[in-house]
Amino acid sequence: MADLVSHPDEVRVVSKRFGEGATDIDRYLALDGYKATQKALTMGADAIINEVKASNLRGRGGAGFPAGMKWSFVPKQSPKPKYVLCNGDESEPGTCKDRLIFEHDPHSVIEGVIIAGIAVDSHQGYIYLRGEYRYLIEIMEKAVADAYARGFLGKNIFGSGYDFECAVQTGAGAYEVGEESALMESLEGKRGIPRIRPPFPAVVGLYGGPTVINNAETLANVPHIILGGGEWYASLGTPKNGGTRLFCLSGSVNKPGVYELPMGYNLRKMIEVAGGIWNGRKLKAVQPGGSSVPVLTADETDIPMDFDALMKAGSMLGSGAVVIIDDSTCMVKYALRVMKFYQHESCGWCIPCREGTDWLKKTLIRFHSGGGVRRDIDNIQYLAENMLGRTFCPFGDAAAMPTISLVKKFRQEFEDHLEGKPCPYEDHGKIEHLPVLTAWDHRTADPWAQAH
Amino acid sequence: MQFSDQLEKRFAELQTHYPIKRSALVPMLLYAQDEVGHVSDEVVHEIAARLDLTDLEVRNVVSYYSMLHTKPIGKYNIQVCTNISCMLRGAEKVFDHIRQRLGIGHKQDTPDGLFHLEEVECIGACCWAPAMQVNYTYHENLTTEKVDEVLESLRKKETQ
Structure confidence by residue, pLDDT tens digits, A314-335: 999 999 999 999 999 999 999 9
Interface A–B counts its CB contacts (< 8 A) at: 180
Subunit contact A133:B51, Cβ cutoff 8 A: no
Structure confidence by residue, pLDDT tens digits, B51-77: 999 999 999 999 999 999 999 999 999
Structure confidence by residue, pLDDT tens digits, A269-319: 999 999 999 999 999 999 999 999 999 999 999 999 999 999 999 999 999
pLDDT value at A439 more than 50: no
Q: Which of B30, B62, B94 lies at the terminal end of a domain, its last residue?
A: B62
Band the pLDDT of A1: cuts 50, 70, 90.
low
Question: Shortest CA distance to A391 belongs to which of A342, A344, A440?
Answer: A342
Residue A15 lies in a domain: no
Q: What residue type is A128 in one-letter code?
A: Y
Query: DSSP string covering A1-47, please?
Result: -PPP---TT---STTTTTTTTTTSHHHHHHTTTTHHHHHHHHH-HHH
Question: Shortest CA distance to A181 belongs to which of A190, A192, A170?
Answer: A192
A104 and A204 share one domain? yes
Q: What residue type is B34 in one-letter code?
A: D
First to last CA, chain B: 31
A83 and A217 share one domain? yes
Provide mean pLDDT across the span A438-451: 42
Residue B69 lies in a domain: no
Residue B151 lies in a domain: yes
Structure confidence by residue, pLDDT tens digits, A36-56: 999 999 999 999 999 999 999
Count other C-beta atoms under 10 Å from residue A162's C-beta. 17
Structure confidence by residue, pLDDT tens digits, A344-375: 999 999 999 999 999 999 999 989 888 888 99
Query: DSSP string covering A76-89, please?
Result: S--SSPPEEEEEE-
Of A134, A432, A452, which has the smallest distance from its Cβ to B63's Cβ?
A452
pLDDT value at A430 more than 70: no
Count other C-beta atoms under 10 Å from residue B63's C-beta. 15
Structure confidence by residue, pLDDT tens digits, A199-234: 999 999 999 999 999 999 999 999 999 999 999 999
B87 touches chain A (CB under 8 A): yes
Q: A41: Cβ–Cβ under 8 A, 6 or more apart, which residues?
A: A118, A157, A158, A160, A162
Domain that includes residue A220, residue range: 25-235
- The C-alpha of B152 sits at a distance from chain A's nearest C-alpha, in angstroms, of 21
Residue A143 lies in a domain: yes
A56 touches chain B (CB under 8 A): no
Residue B128 lies in a domain: yes
Residue A255 lies in a domain: yes
Residue B134 lies in a domain: yes
> Which residues of chain B carry a pLDDT beneath 70?
none
pLDDT value at A434 more than 80: no
> Mean pLDDT score of chain A, rounded to an integer?
93
Residues B29/B68, Cβ–Cβ less than 8 Å? yes
Number of domains in chain B: 2
First to last CA, chain A: 29
B80 and B154 share one domain? yes
pLDDT of residue A105: 98
Q: How far apart are CA A187 and CA A190, in angstroms?
A: 7
Of A95, A131, A249, which has the smallest distance from its Cβ to B67's Cβ?
A131
Domain that includes residue B143, residue range: 76-159
The CATH number of residue B49's host domain is 1.10.10
Subunit contact B84:A287, Cβ cutoff 8 A: yes
B102 and B151 share one domain? yes
Provide mean pLDDT across the span A248-252: 98
